[in-house]
Structure 1
Amino acid sequence: MPVISRIDLRGRTLTTAELRRAIPRAPLDVAAATGAVEPILADVRARGAAALRDLAEKFDGVRPTHVRVPAAELEAALARLDPALRSALELAATRVRAGHTAQLPRATSTDLGPGAQVRQRWVPVRRVGLYVPGGLALYPSSVVMNVVAAQVAGVEGLAVASPPQRDNGGLPDPTVLAACALLGVSEVYAVGGAQAVAMFAYGAVGSEEADGGDGVELCAPVDTITGPGNIYVAAAKRAVRGVVGIDSEAGPTEIGILADAGADPDHVAADLVSQAEHDPNAASVLVTDSLALAAAVEERLEARAASTKHGERVRTALGGPQSAIVLVDDVEQGLAVVDAYAAEHLEIQTADAAALAERVRSAGAIFVGAYSPVSLGDYVAGSNHVLPTGGCAHFSSGLGVMSFMKSVQVIEYTREALAAVTEPLVALANVEDLPAHGEAAQARL
């Protein structure tokens, strides 16, 4: 039995809706998961740190002594960090900082007539909660992606949450702690899953002496929550959206590859496997017009799945309904397929990759050509690896500076400028049956 299934779309003309239904997707229902997370959100909101400890014991198998990680533990983790890993994190941070600094918006001022001016300011949110997963894999790189983007935006208050680890005495992973310390983040919590989202959204009071005392504010509410996670994290973010802002519902990872006959099948197979090793629910999708490439990739997937460290996980992900090789008539049809898929990560390995990349409308991030693998973006490309999944790239962007900023319009008119537009203002107010609006302008004249 092949390690990955095939979907043949050749010779078919599909509507947009039919195309979206034909594309492989994980059978994950965020709406259904909402029922599971709502009691968690309510419990944390009501009981604070006491609930956080109970939930950690239930879901993470450890009851943390310290919900907030002591400063000494952060410093010790950084001191123990392997020099090569520290250098890699510093390189990643430097490149991500450069890439995100280029995203900073500029204030604008528009003169609409004598004495009539509208200005637009860009203001960072006051405080953010940054989530770093810690399930099957550990992600110090996600610390870099979340923290650096928020720092470049100018956010003053940064808090990081990551699940407590049994092997680390109820504290988050040591490399996650070290990455936080390296970037100057001192507020770090040993909290995972939906309960971390609840803590950030509603705040939490302490319950023990280690928290500073019973009823003392342990974690203040934030304005925005960002970061990837499992389906329960995504469901929790959806549930608190409106109480706080969120980046997107970033669930299990996915890769889409559009490739023609000229692509190297070993490169393609290696990249499909690289995402499949994240999670049994990870999605790996190849879209190609070449039967020869499809066959060669299948062969290499078998070999790589057999030899890689997380082979069982890879096989589960590749064999799931979320993964497939999609056969198309030509690259044009392939482009329509990947646009409908709206992959978190989209690789284009075709003869005209750069030109095709410019035509893609829906993707979290696009990797162009044979030497731009997704793993480059995961770590040191200078882009951000926190990206929308599950088709959310149709309407959401990846994490960036703008995830932490909001625009404020400033309107300033003189008496003369107001007088010049009062007549049309009154006309619009009257047609909407809001005469007091017009009277507010007339009162000044």
Structure 2
Amino acid sequence: MLLRLAALAALAAAPCLVAAQSAPVPVRASAQALTLDDAFARVAQAHPDLRLFDGQRAVFDAEREVAALRPPLEAGIEIENLGLDSPARTLETTLTLAGVFERGGKPDARRALAQTRIDALALQRETARVDLLAETARRHLAIVIATRRLAIAQADVAQRTRFVASARQRFAAGASPEAVVLTAQAAQAQAELQAANARLEIETARRSLSMLWGDPDGAFDVLEGDPLALPDIADFDILRALLVRSPELLQFNDRARIAEARLQLARSDATPDIGWQAGIRHQRENGDISLVGGFVVPLGSRTRAQPGIRAASAELALVSIERDAGDRALQATLAEAHGQYRVAQSAVSLLARDVLPRLTRAASATERAWRAGAVSYLEWSQLQDGRSDALRQQLDAAEAAQIALIELQRLTGQSLVVANATPAPFEGDAR
């Protein structure tokens, strides 16, 4: 349980989503402020996938009660010589009580199988919970990323609007042709289109997140999240060692225990049960009463049990093979996510350190030069486009890194941060 709680805490403390806010997200006055922890709580409380396990637990509890029952006693009556038309007939009536002595540990094997299924259900529920929390974090991240895209688009719109005003002044003064004004207006319209698309992305992402707890309206705004804050993580070999405690691999341990319980139950069938019967016999002719009893032992129980034993043994061996296959698949997924995070983290850092500052200074210098008539509109527009594209490239890399980080935490079930992240500067509002 401590591991499962750690997995929940790891996702809840995802550094990408609760980092310091270098660029606060505007919040609508009428909207409800929603944190990532709030989203986690709502999903854990309302998602039907988790409620399914409560119903399954009731079914397994009932099956455990059935498994604890012993074979029922059977009461019977037997009448002999009924209907014989003979002076010498003797009508005999026998009252019997019969039952079965279970041998080979069958009751304990049944109870063990039922209990292991209940125990496995708890881990299955926690695994489903972790998967849902990871999906919640991804959808929350989509809102944060779309909000940043909107900020970049709005900054571009503001820049294009200023340029349109300057182009009109130059056209009115006869310093530039009308084509420059029309081109600037078209670029402004394209920037406004990107801003409109970003707003639609925010609404779609908000609705997608709220549907996890069954709210189609999604009337809330997120208050936190700096996707450019990318922490350093442990090396791959260290993360690989953590996979042994992955909820996905721990499920195979439960499956192995269930298979072992089934094997034990199959082996118990090789020991024959003993049926017994006791009763009272009454002879109507002379009124004598006598006690009767007997035992029944089935033959060939060991032979009949062999196919079930072989099937249970094969199932147990198959679980081991499936665990090895699952382990390799998880390692491959871990390696891919780890590599994606490192590459994207490097790209975000490089763009923030070397590319964006130079493009920002170049765009500002080119704008001043254009106002002075030293450069053409095409040169200034290309620099502005290059800066906006670099901002979007940085945001795309940050999104890829955050998704990879969420996946790494889902696989390992714990936080992977080994040092405080230094947020990359966000220049979406830079002029």
TM-score, normalised by the number of residues in structure 2: 0.20
Structure with larger RCO (C-alpha < 8 A, sep 6+): 2
Larger Rg: 2
Greater fraction of residues in helix: 2
Would you tell me which structure has more strand in proportion to its own residues? 1
TM-score by structure 1 length? 0.19
